[in-house]
Amino acid sequence: MTFRMLDGSKRRHVEPVQKSFIIGDTIIFLAGDAKTCFNIASEFDREKTKNITVFRRILKKHNRGLAERYSGERQDMPLNAILFKMDQSGRTVSHTFLPSSHFNPVTRRGTDGGVHIVTGGYEADKVLTRALQTWDDGKDTGEFIRELFEEFSGAEIGGELDLFEFNVNGAYYLGRQRLNETPHIETITVEETLALSAGLVGGTVTGALIRTAAANRRIEVDAQGLRTYDANGTNRIRINTGSDNGVSAITFFGTGGSTAGEINSYQNSGGISLISSDVFIGSNNTGNPIRLQGAVTIDGTVEFRREVTGLNVGIGSVTGLQTQLDEIWAKLNNHTHDVTLPTHNHGNSANQNWGGTFTTSRSA
């Protein structure tokens, strides 16, 4: 990344800045303010519908934001983009968006089996003219691109190249090549940049993206929050900074990228929710494993698969139980029944014959 210092001189960061992205089946190249470029890609990635109309809307919105931030200096920070896809015939399609044309896309289609050359960013027209003049079908594409940019390297073009390839199966990242820059301009590291702004203690570090690696297993931090990625580059944990619904959340994803669950807190509830299609809470401490402190509400059926001990539930705490017991005791207290015996003298005619119906009653 090349940028201008406060004294007007130019410096280039030793560390690269990401301005090219694979989002779904689309490759996106962005040029301009680094933080704005990353925010454009992130916002487009979150859209449910991904097409050139949505992309243009996002570009225009962020371009207006640049105009407000830089005012008269905006001409030094042009924002433009190229969106690459592949059509049903297997041909590369490019959509170029420039502020000079109000970001109305200029669409070009490559030939079957041919190389589709498109350039963007600083001195894009000069680079494209030179590329069309010097392209050789017999040369390795990656080597041709590297030599082309080395020819134009200098104060504005340099650093490293990200290489991508399309085929019928989608878009792929091939890798990164370092340019042999001529002439070089003075470089500066992140540590030196921090030293210019009061260092780490008492200073403020502002950037578009902080990450531990460019791909595979890594942690990334930006304005949208914090994300962790596994060795396959799949986002596994995401901590959002917020949303339009006033919810902050830690979201978990499976190895395939699908949502596994989240821990969230809505601004109006004041509580924390643990949500998933399958929640397991376990403990390896069998002596004092899992404790719940405070009132507990269970909205659903409960199944105990082992013996339950130490259960202390008052009758009044079981909804409806006391009422049922009171009704049973009321019936017992007021219960009577009749016993009828036949007239008999136990086989002795001298005895008095007796018999009849007798009513029983509850004794205290």
DSSP conformation letters of 42-109: HHHHH-SS-SHHHHHHHHHHHHHHHHHHHGGGGGGS--EEEEEEE-TTS-EEEEEE-GGGTT--EEEE
Strand pairing class (92-97; 160-167): unpaired
Exposure string for 107-120, b = 16+ CB within 10 A, e = fewer: eeebeeeeeebbbb
Find out whether the peptide bond into 183 is cis, omega within 30 degrees of 0.
Answer: yes
Range scoring the smallest mean pLDDT among 136-140, 150-154, 314-318: 314-318
User: Which among 129, 128, 117, 120 is positioned nearest to 100, based on CA atoms?
Assistant: 120
Say which residue, 254 or 205, is predicted with more confidence: 254
The average pLDDT across 65-78 equals 62
Instruction: Using alpha carbons, select from 338, 343, 337 the residue that is nearest to residue 356.
Output: 343
For residues 176-195, average pLDDT = 73
Q: Which of 202-206, 237-241, 352-356 has the highest mean pLDDT?
A: 237-241
Place of tokens 């059509």: 87
Tens-place pLDDT, residues 35-55: 888 889 999 998 989 999 999
pLDDT at 202 over 60: no
The pLDDT of residue 19 is: 85
pLDDT of residue 137: 79
* pLDDT tens sequence across 229-271: 988 888 899 887 765 455 577 888 888 888 888 888 766 666 7
pLDDT of 255 reads: 85
Residue 88 has pLDDT above 70, yes or no: yes
From 92, 89, 98, 84, select the one nearest 32 (Cα to Cα). Answer: 98
Mean pLDDT of the chain: 79
Radius of gyration of the chain (CA): 38
Region 156-168: mean pLDDT is 78
- For helices 52-70 and 34-46, what crossing angle results, to 10°? 150
Rounded to an integer, what distance in angstroms lies between the CA atom of residue 212 and that of residue 220? 7
Q: Which residue has the tokens 């924390």?
A: 272
Domain boundaries, the chain: 2-196, 212-275, 321-359
User: Is this prediction's pTM over 0.85?
Assistant: no
Q: What are phi and psi of 223, to 5 degrees?
A: -65, -20
Q: For position 272, what pLDDT does the model report?
A: 82
| CATH class of the domain comprising 2-196 | alpha beta
